[in-house]
Amino acid sequence: MVNYICLFIVSLILFFLGGWSIPITDPTESVYTLTAKEMLAAGDWLSPRIYGDFWYDKPIMFYWELLTAYKVFGVNEFASRFFPAVFAMLGLFLTYFFGAKLYNKKVGFAAAIMLATSLEYWYLSHAVITDMTLLVMFSLTLITFYFGYRAGRPQLYLISFAASGVAVITKGPIGFFLPGLIILIFLVWQGDLKHLLKLFRLKNFLLLIAIVAVWYLPMTLIHGVEFIENFLGVHNFLRSTVSEYPKTDVWYYYALITAIGFFPWSVPLIVAAVKKFFRRAELFIEEGRLPTFDVPERFLIVWAATVIIFFQLCATKYVTYTLPAMIPIAIFVARYFVNRWKVFIGLAGASLIIYPLLLFTVALPLAEDNSARREAQIISKLIDDKTCVVSHGKEYSGSLVFYTGEKIYRLETKENFDKVKPQKLSWTSKNVMPFMLFDDLPADKTIIAVVSVDYEKNFLDNAAGKWKIIGEVPKGELEAFAEKFFYGKEQRKLKNKIYRREIK
């Protein structure tokens, strides 16, 4: 009980602290929060919608979390970040429980603390995205399978399939397929494929199907082919086969992300791993013996390696995809640190001090720079029934819509609109925001334009009429420092300018 209380306190410090002050950021967080906000306004808890249209990017589970939080706490930053923090805390409890059962309480506690104080986990505990929910359900699927397998208790497989069902309504088919692949590879290594007959029983599948059907069935019946094409076609098949960001599609991407994401624990771990590799290589040369692994080690290795390799083979790569590999990694390496307790206490203690400082000195300013909260504060008081609001820049800001509650058009030239307009089975299908061409700016309304300074010249070259600057939003100090560091000189000091054109 003492260990659980300690983990609860650590969670309050690392995951919940400051959640009320971090603004909603673009491009990802604003999509989730704005979708939930529109669902709440429409009184529709089934069909995700954004910018007035139905939206098939992700399943329903995370939206239910946001809707619940908005009903309880109101539509604000704290409510948006509440459930990611809750599931991050549950992830710690799950890690401690599993590590203690596999080895002992000291290993379980060390693994949970390592997880809590790793850079990626800390970051994602504050992020308004689906990954923490997926992590918990994904891990619960595998952990209950392992306990059922080792203890000869097939009734635990019902929990495993139920958790997998929730993972499927959180992230999609990957919530069943990837844990299933991990279990299959583990059983192959065990030489126990016949155990699949005990696992894949009818009642287990019926429970899984019942949970999945709660959302997928009515969505298919209501929205039909459009839902299937967009959800399965674009957001699952296309994501796996065509890279959304080709620059990240490199062979070493997730090896690098894993090392960075597991910081600071990856630093001594890499050194220890190199030493161990050479010791085992020397043993193999001298005695011809390959390293052996016990059953818990096999399961942890298969779990972590399969997640990392699978997503490395997928075309589209995101920093968050390999989060489900962090629990087995933490447990696997915790045994190294429990034998070096002073190192563990030092790193853990330093992290508990440094992360709250980073939250307010680094994370908060960076979030502010990637949010339109300041722009919204300027224009909200200027908008009336005779005002049309547009934005012009490289990216459309969903957070500007979230904070203003107004319909905001993405202003484009005819030439660029033809490139970015939504098309089926293409990444442009995600561009569901309202568009407006420069030639279509209404003459009978006051126009307020939020313009990125990098696109200011293009805006003034194409926007007819007399425009007046009514507001300027500067870049944050951290963003200016980063530009000076990477480019050798500070770029434009402004982030956005706000223009107004009066009714002609």
Q: How does pLDDT run along the chain (504 residues), one tens digit per residue?
A: 889 999 999 999 999 999 999 999 999 999 999 999 999 999 999 999 999 999 888 999 999 999 999 999 999 999 999 999 999 999 999 999 999 999 999 999 999 999 999 999 999 999 999 999 999 999 999 999 999 999 999 999 999 999 999 999 999 999 999 999 999 999 999 999 999 999 999 999 999 999 999 999 999 999 988 888 887 766 565 665 666 667 777 878 888 888 898 989 887 776 666 566 556 555 556 666 666 788 999 999 999 999 999 999 887 778 888 899 999 999 988 988 888 888 899 999 999 999 999 999 999 999 999 999 999 999 999 999 899 999 999 889 999 999 999 999 999 999 988 888 877 766 667 888 999 999 999 999 999 999 999 999 999 999 988 999 999 999 876 666 555 555 555 555 889 999 999 876
Same domain, residue pair 300 and 394: no
User: To which H or E segment does residue 85 belong?
Assistant: helix 77-102
Same domain, 471 and 330: no
Do 302 and 318 lie in a common domain? yes
Residue with tokens 């069909």: 47
Pair 403, 270 in one domain: no
Residue 86: closest CA among 128, 37, 31, 57? 128
Same domain, 297 and 388: no
Where do we find the tokens 């080690």? Answer: 297
Last residue of a domain, one of 326, 343, 366: 366
Same domain for 171 and 26?
yes
Tokens representing 305 are 């390696």
The number of folded domains in the chain is 2
Are 408 and 361 in the same domain? no
Q: What is the pTM of this model?
A: 0.92
Which of 366, 381, 401 is a domain's end point?
Answer: 366
d(CA 73, CA 111): 32
DSSP class of residue 475 equals: P
d(CA 448, CA 463): 12
Q: Clarify whether residues 283 and 398 are in a common domain.
A: no
Domain holding 491, by residue range, is 373-501
| 351 and 399 fall within a common domain | no
Q: Give the Cα separation of 45 and 47 in Å (integer).
A: 6
Does 413 lie in the same domain as 355?
no
For residue 93 the two structure tokens come to 């409890």
On whether both 160 and 245 belong to a single domain, the answer is yes
Q: Which residues contact 500 (CB under 8 A, 6 or more apart)?
A: 382, 446, 447, 448, 449, 467, 468, 470
Q: Which residue among 366, 388, 413 closes a domain?
A: 366
Whether 42 and 190 map to the same domain: the answer is yes
What is the DSSP-derived secondary structure letter of residue 428?
G
What is the reported pLDDT for 350? 94
pLDDT in the model for residue 102: 95
User: What is the DSSP code (8-state) at residue 238?
Assistant: I
